[in-house]
Amino acid sequence: MNEPPKMNEPIIVIDDDETMRRACRAALRRTGYQVETYADGPSGLKRIEEVRPGVLIVDLKMPGMSGMEVIAQLKAMDTDTVIVVITGFATVGTAVEAMKAGAYDFIPKPFTAEELRAIIARAVERYHLSTEAKRLRAEKEHQTRKFITFVSHQLQSPLGAVRQYLDVMLHQMGDDTPVKQREWIDRSRRKIGLMLEIIADWLTLSKVEGGQLATERTLVRWQDLVVKTLDGLEISAQEKQVTLRNEVPDGLPAVVGDESALRMLLANLVNNAIKYNRDGGRVTVAAKASSVDQTVALSVSDTGVGIAPEQQPHVFEEFYRVKNGSTEGTSGTGMGLPICKKIAEELDGRITLSSEPGRGSTFTVVLPRDPKEKTPDEHGEVPQLGGA
Ligand SMILES: Nc1ncnc2c1ncn2[C@@H]1O[C@H](COP(=O)(O)OP(=O)(O)OP(=O)(O)O)[C@@H](O)[C@H]1O
Ligand SMILES: [Mg+2]
C-alpha cells in the first residue's frame, strides 16, 4: 500500500452503528490519522465546530438527525472539511443527492478496510488542495491590498499639491476671470478632494487591519466625543435640515479604547445618519451601560431611508453601497462602515445594525467599559454578601 497522505486535522466518523464506528476507527488508526467517532449527528456536529476536522465520514441513514441534515449544517459552517458518506445497499440515489449537497465521495456498505483507506486518502488529498487554494487566494488578496496601499500612499502628496495650486489659482483670479473658468477650476478642486478622501479612507482601513490604528487603550468618555462630533457636523446637518440630538447620559462610565479611533468611528456613523436621512429628519445619539457584561452600548439612530434586511449584512463589507435612491447623489465609497467594524473589533467590541426600510436605522457600538466606574443606579445597588 502507498504511504497515506499526512494530515494534522482529525477525521470524524458519525454513524449510529457501533460495529461500523469500530471498524472505521480500526481501519484508519493504522494510517496514523486521529480518528474520533460519534453515534449521532448533534454530538458529531458539536465536535466538528470545535476541531474543524479535515474529513468527515457520515452515515446517511441514522435515526434522529439524518446524514443529509449533518451535511447541510456542516455546509453552513466556515470549514474546509471534506465529506465522505456511507451508504447502504441500493441507496445510490441518496449518495447522488448527498454529493449534490456537497459531499465529495461515497462508500457503499459493506466495504473493506482497504477500500475505506483508499477513499480517505483521496479525501485527505482533496482537503489539502482546497486549504492550499484558500491560502493562495488569501495571499493574492494580501499582495493586492499591499499594492493598492502603496499606490494610494504615493498619490497622496502629488494630489494634495495639485489641490493646493488650484486653491491658490482660485484665490488669485480677478473679477475679469470668465465665470466658466472659475467653475472648472472649482470642479477640479472638488474632484481631487474626493480622490483624496478615498485615499485617506483606504489608508485608514489598512492601518486598522495592520493593527496600527486603534493602538491606545485609555479610558474614553463618549460624552465628550459626542459633543465634539455633533458640533463638527452641525453644518452638514443644517444643510439637510436634520436635527442632531445628544441623549448620552452624564453618569455614563468611560469605555476602554483608543480616542482618535473612536472619534473616527462616531464621525462615520453620524455622518451616515445625516447623509442617508430625509430632509427635516433627526439623528439621535444615545448610550447605556450594562453591568451584566461590563459594556457600554452607544447607538446612533436616524429617521432616514433605512436598509432592507437582505442588504444589512453587506453594508459592513468594503466598497458596498446600497443601490437605491439613498446613495444617488451622495458621495461615498463604501469604506466608512468597514472602518467602523474593524475599529470596534480591534477594541474587543462589536457593531450591530437594526433598521426598518422607510423608517430609519440604528447602529450600535458595544465596547468594554471601565470596570471601576459605576453608573448612578449601580451606586444604589445592594452590596454583595461577603464583600469587603
Ligand atoms: N444610516 C444609514 N441609513 C441608511 N443607509 C445607510 C446608513 N449608513 C450606511 N448606509 C448604507 O450603507 C452603505 C455603506 O456605508 P459606508 O459608510 O460604508 O459607505 P458610504 O457612506 O457609502 O461611503 P463612505 O463612508 O466611504 O464615504 C452606504 O452606501 C448606504 O447605502
Ligand atoms: Mg459612510
Domain count, the chain: 3
Centre of ligand 2 to C-alpha 119, Å, is 51
Higher pLDDT, 379 or 81: 81
Ligand 1 site-directed mutation target among 275, 276, 352, most atoms within 8 Å of CB: 276
Protein residue whose Cα sits closest to atom 28 of ligand 1: 321
The helix or strand, by DSSP H or E, that contains position 167, with its residue range, turns out to be helix 113-172
The residue to mutate among 315, 323, 353, having the most atoms of ligand 1 within 8 angstroms of its beta carbon, is 315
Q: Does residue 345 register a pLDDT over 90?
A: yes
Going by pLDDT thresholds of 50, 70 and 90, the confidence category of residue 1 is low
Q: Could you tell me if the CB of 296 is within 6 A of ligand 1?
A: no
Query: Rounded mean pLDDT of the chain?
Result: 93
- Of 321, 330, 333, the residue with max ligand 1 atoms within 8 A of its CB, to mutate for a pocket test, comes to 321
The residue range of the domain holding 305 is 218-368
Residues 196 and 232 in one domain: no
Looking at the fold, whether 125 and 166 belong to one and the same domain comes out as no
If you measure from the C-alpha of residue 323 to the centroid of ligand 1, how many angstroms do you get, rounded to a whole number?
Answer: 11
Cβ-contact 242, 280 below 8 angstroms: yes
Domain assignment of residue 339, yes or no: yes
In a domain, 379, yes or no: no
The answer to whether residue 121 scores a pLDDT higher than 50 is: yes
CATH at residue 297: 3.30.565.10
Weakest-pLDDT range from 205-209, 262-266, 299-303: 205-209
Cell of residue 314, nine digits: 453587506
Asked if residue 30 is part of any domain, the answer here is yes
Residue 374 domain-assigned (yes or no): no
Beta strands in 258-340, from DSSP E residues, in sequence order? 282-290, 295-302
CA dist., res. 119 & res. 134, Å (int): 23
User: With contact defined as beta carbons under 8 Å apart, do 303 and 281 qualify?
Assistant: yes
Q: Which residue has the cell 435612491?
A: 325
Q: Quote the pLDDT of residue 95.
A: 86
**pLDDT higher than threshold 70 for residue 380:** no
Q: Do 195 and 249 reside in the same domain of the chain?
A: no
Q: Tell me which residue of 82, 68, 98 sits closest to 33, measured CA to CA.
A: 82
Burial class of 83 by CB neighbour count within 10 A (0 to 12, 13 to 18, 19+): buried
6 falls within a domain: no
In the chain, what percentage of residues exceed pLDDT 70?
96
Query: Domain for residue 382, yes or no?
Result: no
Q: Could you tell me if 158 and 66 lie in one domain? A: no
User: Does 22 share its domain with 78?
Assistant: yes
Of 168, 187, 209, the residue that ends a domain is 209
If asked whether residues 231 and 364 sit together in one domain, one would say yes
State the pLDDT at residue 388.
Answer: 40
Q: Which of 135, 162, 185 is the last residue of a domain?
A: 135
Judge if 227 and 341 occupy the same domain: yes
Same domain, 121 and 180: no
pLDDT in tens, 172-190: 998 899 999 999 999 999 9
CATH of the domain at 126: 3.40.50.2300
pLDDT digits (tens, 9 = 90+) for 24-63: 999 998 888 999 999 999 999 999 999 999 999 999 999 9
Question: Does 356 score more than 70 pLDDT?
Answer: yes
Q: Prior bond to 110 cis, omega within 30?
A: yes
Report residue 357's pLDDT band, with 50, 70 and 90 as the boundaries. very high
| Distance (Å) from CA 161 to ligand 1 centroid | 29
Q: Which residues pair with 296 in a beta bridge?
A: 289, 367
Ligand 1 centre distance from Cα of residue 58 (Å): 44
Element (H, E) at 155: helix 113-172
Shared domain for 85 and 128, answered yes or no, is yes
pLDDT of residue 382: 54
Q: Are residues 99 and 188 in the same domain?
A: no
Residues 238 and 323 in one domain: yes
Closest ligand (CA of 332): 1
Above 90 in pLDDT, residue 67? Answer: yes
Cell 436598509 found at = 307
Closest-CA residue, ligand 1 atom 9, reads 272
Give tens-digit pLDDT for 210-256: 889 999 999 999 999 999 999 999 999 999 999 999 999 999 999 99
Q: DSSP assignment, residue 312?
A: G
Compute the distance from residue 303 Cα to the ligand 1 centre, in Å: 14
Residue 141 lies in a domain: no
* Residues 248 and 358 placed together within one structural domain of the fold: yes
List CB contacts of 232: < 8 A, sequence separation 6 or more: 267
Ligand showing the shortest atom-to-Cα distance for residue 322: 1
Q: Give the mean model confidence (pLDDT) for residues 356-362.
A: 96
Is 336 near ligand 1, meaning CB less than 6 Å away? yes
Q: What is the pLDDT of residues 253-298, one digit of tens each?
A: 999 999 999 999 999 999 999 999 999 999 999 999 999 999 999 9
Of 126, 133, 134, the closest CA to residue 56 belongs to: 126
Is pLDDT at 385 greater than 60 in this prediction? no
Supply the Cα-derived Rg of the chain in whole angstroms.
Answer: 29
pLDDT at 387: 42
Collapse the DSSP code of 180 into the 3-class scheme (helix H, G, I; strand E, B; otherwise coil) and give the result. helix
- State the Cα angle at 166 between 163 and 169, rounded to 5°: 155
